Amino acid sequence: MTQTVTANSNPARAAAPGGPVTGAMTGPMPGPLNGAASGPSMAEGPGGASDGAAVQAAREAVERLASLLAEDLSAVDRLIHERMDSTVGLIPNLAGYLIAAGGKRLRPMLTLAVARMFGGGGENALKLAAAVEFIHSATLLHDDVVDRSGLRRGRRTANHVWGDKASILVGDFLFARSFNLMVETGSVSVLDVLAKASSVIAEGEVMQLAAANDASVTRERYMSIIGAKTAALFAASARAGALAAGQAGAAERAMEGYGRDLGLAFQLVDDALDYGGRTATLGKNVGDDFREGKVTLPVIHAREAAGTPEEQAFWQRVMSDPSSQTEGDLPRAQALMMRTRAIEATLAAARDHCEAARSRLVHAPDNAWRHALAALVDFVVLRAA
């Protein structure tokens, strides 16, 4: 079973359902970033690639990573299935619906690839990889309840199928199980990293909630939010891989930085896609953030570049009072974003963080894993095409 990564797909929150991760990475690859960034093609869909060679190179490199990790990822999948099990049938049913159905396993890939790059791996790395996926899954379950999302990975969200109550409690279960896995590694330093990341993630989610419907959210505040809610777990996943391979000091910090920048880029792309995708090819509804009054960088950019008081008033109204939105508001927002090149600016910010992520790898061992981790950076941005 393969996962089709179409142009404008939104794997951050809406990876297409699919089987094993190896399959996920070998599906059709997106077109180039420039296609998405340059105004009119924002909703063009796949194809129309210009930058074909770069795309092809990224695709091959990510395929290499997937095949390098194939055995590890299968082991992690087995571990995930084993540890989400319970005599309480609702738990594996609901968790399996979310986890087993697919997703890219990006965070476990980080843990595993970093560990392997430093010559590590083995049982503890597998457990940590499963643990970070559990933390991520728990967050997704709670996010969907909080956001009242209807779609994820192209299907109804778990809370729409089983109800909010079940999603809240099964999320708690997965979160607790993630700590069970970490404890089994016996490493207090890894526990420290992941426990801190977990509270930062929750803090980020609360920050985001507090910022909802506040049209005045600044770029700085937005970056704090995505740094906490998304990048903290990427950073911790990569750092856990370094720790699992016995690294510390500069190498550990470099990997944390790599994960953090990658995570920031990932979320920036995700937020750009929320205005650039099309429902037909996305696993979530386009404009979800807009309809929730979630102020993301495309909005901040368009609002800051607004030409008239009337445009200012538009952003103020649609963000602070989403219930006032009418049918024409989303297209108008998209048009204003095109004019102000807001999506392009957001993706440019993402590329800056990709560059920073890549630069963190320079002192790492020069092996196939490192090249694959560099390729992963490209993949994160290229999926926006």
Query: Residues in the site for its own copies, rule: CB under 8 A?
Result: 86, 88-91, 138, 142, 145-146, 164-166, 168-170, 172-173, 175-177, 179-180, 182-183, 186, 188, 191-192, 195-196, 198-199, 201-203, 205-207, 209-210
- What type of residue sits at position 294? K
Q: Which is nearer to its own copies, 323 or 326 (CB)?
A: 323
Task: Tell how far CA 59 is from the center of its chain.
Answer: 18
Q: How far is the CB of 196 from its own copies (least distance, A)?
A: 6
Nearest residue (CB) to its own copies, 60 versus 192: 192
Tell the smallest beta-carbon distance from residue 192 to its own copies (Å). 5
Would you say 226 or 306 has its CB closer to its own copies?
226
Residue identified by tokens 């990293």 is: 193
Q: Which two tokens stand for residue 378?
A: 């490209």
Alpha-carbon distance values, 92 to 80, 200, 308 (Å): 10, 27, 53
Residue 274 CB neighbours (<10 A): 27
Min dist CB 288 to its own copies, Å, is: 15
Name which of 184 and 329 has its Cβ closer to its own copies: 184
Distance in Å, CB of 290 to its own copies, minimum = 18
Which CB, 169 or 368, lies closer to its own copies? 169
Give 189 or 367: the residue with its C-beta nearer to its own copies. 189
CB of 295 to its own copies, least distance (A): 16
Q: How far apart are CA 171 and CA 162, in angstroms?
A: 12
Residue 307: HSE in the Cβ half-sphere, 13 Å Cα cutoff: 4
Query: Least CB distance from residue 345 to its own copies, whole Å?
Result: 27
Residue 99 beta carbon to its own copies: minimum distance, rounded to whole angstroms: 16
Closer to its own copies by Cβ: residue 55 or 217? 217
Q: How far is the CB of 100 from its own copies (least distance, A)?
A: 17
Q: Which is nearer to its own copies, 129 or 337 (CB)?
A: 129
Query: Phi first, then psi: what are they for 248, rounded to 5°?
Result: -155, 180
Nearer CB in complex with its own copies: 26/224: 224
The H-or-E segment that residue 155 falls in is strand 155-156
Which amino acid is located at 305 in the chain?
A
DSSP notation for 43-67: G--S---S-HHHHHHHHHHHHHHHH
What residues contact residue 354 under an 8 Å CB cut-off, 6+ apart? 261, 262, 265, 377, 378, 380, 381
**Joined tokens for residue 21:** 């991760």
Give dist(CA 271, CA 78) in Å, integer.
32
Helices 249-276 and 329-340 pack at an angle, to 10 degrees, of 120
Return the SS3 of 369.
helix
d(CA 100, CA 84): 10
Task: Write down the least CB distance from residue 350 to its own copies, Å.
Answer: 25
Q: Both tokens of residue 344?
A: 């392009």
